[in-house]
A and B are shown apart, each in its own frame.
Chain A
Amino acid sequence: MPSLAGLFFWMNSKLENIKNLEVSKPLKLDCGKTINNFPLAYETYGKLNENKDNAILVFHALTGDQFVTGTNPITNKEGWWVTAVGPGKAIDTNKYFVICANVIGGCMGSLGPRNINSDNNQPYGLDFPVITIKDMVRAQESLLEHLGIKKLLCATGGSMGGMQVLQFCATFPEKTFSAIPIACSSSHSAQNIALNELARQAIMSDPVWDNGRYVLKNVQPKNGLAVARMVGHISYLSEKGMEEKFGRKLQEKADYKFSFDADFQVESYLRHQGYAFVERFDANSILYITRAMDYFDLSKQFKGGLIEAFKNQKTKFLIISFSSDWLYTTKENKDIVIALNASGADVSYSEFVTDKGHDSFLLDEPEFLKTLKGFIDSMHNKFKNEKRI
């Protein structure tokens, strides 16, 4: 493994080769500050057709990035949604033009706390403005303009990606024909805020973090960030799923070692996930992005609440939840359906029964993927006709 300083250099040099849009239009953030001339890193798959009726915008989740499918050129691992997106997949890149941008606040090339602050020529660290889901979505809207797409066929994403879908539809009701928010919520629950706080506290209590100034020293609060990731991983699984996957199985040993090493497979799994994560993610980005999630409350943005947020929507929605997801529960997803119904929107809803927890949307869940494909294909037929008229 290269040293962290080396790693950052290596990552930064790789980041130079990825698609990047310099957004010149000033973006006034919810916190009151304005950013301009900022980078927005993105990736596209497939081809935009002549009628421009096949564009799908995918929003990524907390620790995701723009590399939806294929091989991620930075990590050399598979894209995060390779199960659903790609040639011949549910979101078929032979047929559709798939776009995904790294959120602002992230660390895969879009403006984030690791970028250089032009005020003092040093990395932002905690001087980076606090951003919201709405800020992320508005930044990505510039990308559509850049790509010459007036109206998307579909906007989709799971978890925080789903929240961005909801925000996108509420802020730009004319910009997408259909929308699939998956396993998400219209306002972050107390439990989810608590879990995010746990992740942040883990990072901030690591002495290396040093109030976010670790970036100046080219180091990373590895231990804190790894613990933060472990918290996340627990919340993405379900009790039953964990029992099935790990049970009380021991890690490469016949008996307890009577120590605090990773005796159990589940411990070993968490440690592996935690420490693998520090190689690809920035600790300050986790602080900023989790904060954006916590601040997300779509009903608060509109006087009449959530119903008002979706008023006069022509967008066709498909809401999806998973039975064992305790992070973004079926109940929370149904609340979105109820609000959409109350505002008279065109909405479908389906719950998939699985033991795989919140992670389900990233996994090979055949019924879910079949529904995803069926909805997008039928929407494409309708959108084509609408465009023809």
Chain B
Amino acid sequence: MTLCTTNLKMKKEFKVIAELLPNNTRVLDVGCGDGSLMSLLKKEKNIEVRGLELNQDNVQQCILKGLPVIQGNAETELLQFPNQSFDYVVLSQTLQAFYDPEKVLKDLLRIGKSVVISIPNFGYWKVRAKLLFFGKMPVTKTLPNTWYNTPNLHMCTIKDLFSFCDEKNIEIKKVIGVNGNKTSLIKRGNLEIKNLFSKLGIFLIR
């Protein structure tokens, strides 16, 4: 099971996230993987990074790179981080994999002054087309797993996350859509079309 997209796209996503974050801030990367994003943020933006990661091999990779990482489960172990102890909390393509994404999101907003979340967009036209024309659960480059082994329990679209934030009174500061190497700003005015043509949605909320 893999949560991530291919390396190249991952790098694009990370670049977008890095651009959203100001220099010299304190950032917690929840589900930090092997520390690629943390390395980037530290090197390029002099950001003080911390990671939380469940997988032992990934934890080891981070430690070998000298990146501070705590082995643990974001679903149950975010409690250990004090209120507003980070300028930003980053959650890359993992929200949909939690049993209780709402609870996790609430915790992220408690820990960080702002939160950056990226989601694989279930509203992307190829995903929609696969379900519509083939009648089967979509398997794409962004969503490489089949229905029975996918870690994604709560798939959503960019539009869904917009509505969710409105419902929960979460302020949306900025949303960026990613498709391959192209990025675009998503506003309420162009939401319908961007929801169709973005593979990934990156939200800056608070």
Q: Tell me the A residues contacting B by CB distance below 8 Å.
A: 316, 318, 334, 337-338, 341-342, 344, 346-353, 367, 370-371, 374-375, 377-379, 381-382
Contacts and interface: CB of A to CB of B under 8 A. Distances in A.
Given A367-B60, A371-B60, A374-B63, A348 B82 contact: no
Contacts of B60: 350, 367, 370-371, 374
Q: What are the 9 A-B residue pairs with the smallest beta carbon separation, nearest first?
A: A378-B66, A374-B64, A338-B80, A349-B70, A350-B71, A348-B68, A346-B68, A375-B63, A348-B69
Contacts of B63: 318, 348, 350, 371, 374-375, 378
Interface of B: 50, 56, 59-60, 62-72, 80-82, 85
B82 A378 contact: no
A352 B63 CA distance: 14
A341 B80 contact: yes
Contacts of A318: 63
- The majority secondary structure among interface residues of chain B is mixed
B89 to A, nearest CB: 13
B41 to A, nearest CB: 15
A341 B70 contact: yes
A145 B62 CA distance: 34
10 contacts: A348-B68, A348-B69, A348-B70, A349-B69, A352-B56, A353-B56, A371-B59, A374-B63, A378-B65, A378-B66
A347 B70 contact: yes
B66 A379 contact: yes
B68 A344 contact: no
A349 B71 contact: yes
Given A341-B81, A344-B85, A378 B64 contact: yes
A381 B59 contact: no
Contacts of A337: 70, 80
A350 B59 contact: yes
Nearest to A368: B60
A67 B81 CA distance: 39
A371 B71 CA distance: 13
Contacts of B80: 334, 337-338, 341-342
A222 B163 CA distance: 74
Contacts of A348: 59, 62-63, 67-70
A367 B56 contact: yes
Given A350-B60, A367-B56, A341 B66 contact: no
Contacts of A342: 80, 82, 85
Nearest to B86: A344
